[in-house]
Amino acid sequence: MAFARLSAIVAIALAASQSANAAATARPVTCSTGHVTANAACCALFPVVDLLQDQLFDGAECGEEAHSALRLSFHDAIGFSIHGKLILKILGGGADGSILQFSDIETAFHANGGIDDITDGQHPVFAQTNLTAGDFVHLAAAVGTANCPGAPRLQFMFGRPPPKAAAPDLTIPEPTDSVTKILARFADAGFSPKEAVALLASHTIAAADVVDTTIPGTPFDSDSQVFLEVLLKGRLFPGNGSQPGEVLSPLAGEMRLQSDFVISQDSRTACFWQEMINNQQFMMSQFKAAMAKLQVLGQDTRKLIDCSDVVPVPKPFTQAIKFPASFSKKDVQIACHDLPFPNIATVAGPAPTIPPV
Ligand code: HEM
Ligand SMILES: *[C@@H]1O[C@H](CO)[C@@H](O)[C@H](O)[C@H]1NC(C)=O
Ligand SMILES: *[C@@H]1O[C@H](CO)[C@@H](O)[C@H](O)[C@H]1NC(C)=O
């Protein structure tokens, strides 16, 4: 699976502006491993990146572990609550790695169904490093995402203290939640409705194991772009009928989350959702910015060191966004009436069946 297309031109422009910024702020250092980085403290991370690629991501693949590492960073960070901090003094530490350190507690939360696969996968790799759980979880997410063609190169800030306690339950959105409930939860963690939508670009590299346990590994899109496919008229359930949190999907082998669909249709989010379609530079920059915020939630960023240059540079994804075969604009459930819907070509041939990941 891939984050849909980032044009090569955009990649080059971004790379040029990033290196210009780095040159202006710091003098590069060469680590004993030969890697070059803006800050000597980041040298300790290059061997950890190699360890992650070899032992967790099957040699730098955008596979299930990479997807799950990204989901884990969200489920770790979203345990943060502004309201809980101010009123009840029950807050999670945010992006602190508590989901890994206290995995025996947090994997039992309903919204964390299936996440024990990735905490079990990360524990033996984590044990070989000197990182805190927070740095490990959020570095793994950045590195795993970088293995997916067309993904942005996520920021990585280094130096989170160890987590103090497990996050409280019921802070992670569920696919059965209403838009109002989901947006309220994001707002309580400090995110606008637009940032919540931007974070859902992640569902372009996502699949479900536990929504319908009869069809593990069922993806949310056909490797083009989740923002387009969630709008297509639903026709079928890919597995054992209708399960909680699932609505009709347009394609055999594809699952549509109820939460993605209702967010795509709601007046508070529909136009921003539509703006993401066939707008690669925009989708990636919005996702990157929202992830940068998510991955330091609850942290004192003045004490963290920017080690973003240890994150591998993702490959661009060069295919154009297209409607899956047999679909066209007439199949789109347009919910934004203020903006024109983009013109998108259709893949030739009969409607596809999407293979599991
Ligand atoms: C409205 C908020 C969200 C809801 C309700 C939601 C719900 C879900 C559900 C139900 C699954 C499938 C789990 C399974 O059956 O295995 C899933 C997968 C996934 N989600 Fe979300 N999600 C949300 C937001 C996010 C965000 C903000 C991110 C990351 C920034 C994210 C990243 C992922 C990824 C990468 C997967 C695939 C995991 C894998 O393939 O192992 N999700 N999500
Ligand atoms: C962890 O720290 C110890 C003590 O400082 C050091 O000997 C060891 O090489 C470090 N391990 C890694 C993987 O960085
Ligand atoms: C299929 O779904 C039904 C209704 O949700 C459920 O009762 C049944 O156990 C499921 N079958 C399997 C094999 O999971």
The b/e string for 198-227 (b: 16+ C-beta within 10 A; e otherwise) is: bbbbbbbbbbbbebbeebbebbbbbbbbbb
Domain membership of residue 14 (yes or no) is: no
For residue 67, being part of any structural domain is answered with yes
Residue 37 sits at φ, ψ, to 5 deg, of -145, 165
CA distances from 16 to 19, 54, 141, 163, 283 (A): 5, 29, 24, 36, 19
Look up the pTM and report it: 0.93
Residue 314 CB–ligand 1 contact under 6 Å: no
Q: How far is the CA of 46 from the centre of ligand 2 (A)?
A: 13
Residue 6 inside a domain? The answer is no
Residue 301 is part of which domain span? 34-331
Ligand 3 closest atom vs CA 214: 14
Q: Which pLDDT belongs to residue 318?
A: 72
Q: Are 81 and 171 in contact (CB under 8 A)?
A: yes
Q: Is 209 in the pocket of ligand 1 (CB under 6 A)?
A: yes
Closest C-alpha to ligand 2, atom 5: 130
Any known ligand binding at 190?
no
Q: Which ligand is nearest to the CA of 45?
A: 2
Residue 103 lies in a domain: yes
Distance CA 95, CA 75 (A): 9
Count how many domains the chain has: 1
Asked whether residue 96 is marked as a ligand-binding residue, the answer is yes
Residue 343 placed within a domain: no
Q: What are phi and psi of 216, to 5 degrees?
A: -60, 150
Please state, in angstroms and as integers, the Cα–Cα distance from residue 272 to each residue in 122, 335, 338, following that order.
Answer: 35, 11, 11
Q: Which residue has the tokens 């679909």?
A: 327
What CATH number has the domain bearing residue 149? 1.10.520.10
Question: Can you tell me which atom of ligand 2 is nearest the CA of 128?
Answer: 13
- Could you give the count of Cα atoms lying within 13 Å of 351 in the half-sphere of its Cβ? 14
Whole-angstrom distance, CA of residue 261 vs CA of residue 126: 36
The reported pLDDT for the residue numbered 13 is 42
Q: What is the pLDDT of residue 91?
A: 57
Q: Can you tell me the distance from the alpha carbon of 88 to that of 91, in angstroms, rounded to the nearest whole number?
A: 8
In tens, the pLDDT along 160-206 reads 999 999 999 999 999 999 999 999 999 999 999 999 999 999 999 99
**CB 258 within 8 Å of CB 38:** no
Classify residue 144: in a domain, yes or no.
Answer: yes
Confirm whether 197 is domain-assigned: yes
The pLDDT value given to residue 48: 98
Asked if residue 281 has its Cβ within 6 Å of ligand 2, the reply is no
Is 203 annotated as contributing to ligand binding? yes
Q: Which residues are CB-contacts of 199 (< 8 A; sequence separation ≥ 6)?
A: 74, 191, 287, 290, 291, 294
CA–CA separation, 338 vs 7, rounded Å? 27
**What is the per-residue burial (b if ≥16 Cβ within 10 Å, else e) of 252-291?**
ebbbbbbbbbbbbbbeebbebbbbbbbbbbebbebbbebb
pLDDT in tens, the chain (357 residues): 467 533 333 343 444 444 444 444 568 999 999 999 999 999 999 999 999 999 999 999 999 999 999 999 999 999 998 887 655 455 568 999 999 999 999 999 999 999 999 999 999 999 999 999 999 999 999 999 999 999 999 999 999 999 999 999 999 999 999 999 999 999 999 999 999 999 999 999 999 999 999 999 999 999 878 999 999 999 999 999 999 999 999 999 999 999 999 999 999 999 999 999 999 889 999 999 999 999 999 999 999 999 999 999 999 987 779 999 999 999 999 999 999 999 999 999 999 999 999
Sort residue 171 into left (φ over 0), alpha (ψ -120 to 50) or beta.
Answer: alpha
In-domain check, residue 164: yes
Residues with CB under 6 A from ligand 3: 213-214, 240-241, 243
